Amino acid sequence: MNNEDIQVQLVDQNDNPIGQMEKLQAHIEAKMHRAVSLLIMNSKGEWLLHQRAEDKYHSPNLWTNACCTHPLIGENYEVAIKRRLIEEMGIEIKGELKHELDFTYFAKLNDNLFEHEYDRLFSTICDQEPNPSPIEVKDWKYISYEELKKDIHNNPNNYTEWFKIIFSKISDKRK
């Protein structure tokens, strides 16, 4: 399936479905739609990040959380992120994920595209070695919270807009 074939669920501020739209069109028109994100920490407490592939139509080459996607129409958030984690990172999570929070955000991206998403964030602890798809992922790494905090502060343009928001919200929860 290419980006034009994927339909996203348009929603209001409370995650109530209000329609469907092709994914790319939703990013062009800045329509709020569902997204889901996953944080993975290993048993040492390090965060798994991946660098988006060069050919991604938005936010290429930027570092971001372990996995993020849009649920398919009728697909629940947890099923969607587990599916995409296998596709992107080659990691299969068997158990339940921890629901951290839901949030909405709006961000201008490259090439006159926008993110306007209702994002559900999950987390899990996992020590599986990633086997990423080169179509989706350029690189990956584990990084400590403190190193990540410093790098986001010093090099914010190296990270996706949604991951900077996620990191800020999770940092606030840690206080």
Half-sphere exposure of 73 (CA within 13 A, CB side): 13
**Three-state secondary structure along 93-160?**
CCCCCEEEEEEEEEEECCCCCEEEEEEEEEEEECCCCCCCCCCCEEEEEEECHHHHHHHHHHCHHHEC
Q: Nearest to residue 36, comparing CAs of 166, 173, 159?
A: 166
Residue 126 a catalytic site member = no
Taking a C-beta distance cutoff of 8 angstroms, is the pair 119, 36 a contact?
Answer: yes
- State the CB neighbour count (10 A cutoff) for residue 164: 18
Catalytic site residue from 67, 68, 88, 161: 68
H helices then E strands: how many in the chain?
4, 9
Catalytic site residue from 67, 88, 115, 117: 117
Residue 78 a catalytic site member = no
Residues noted as catalytic: 68, 117
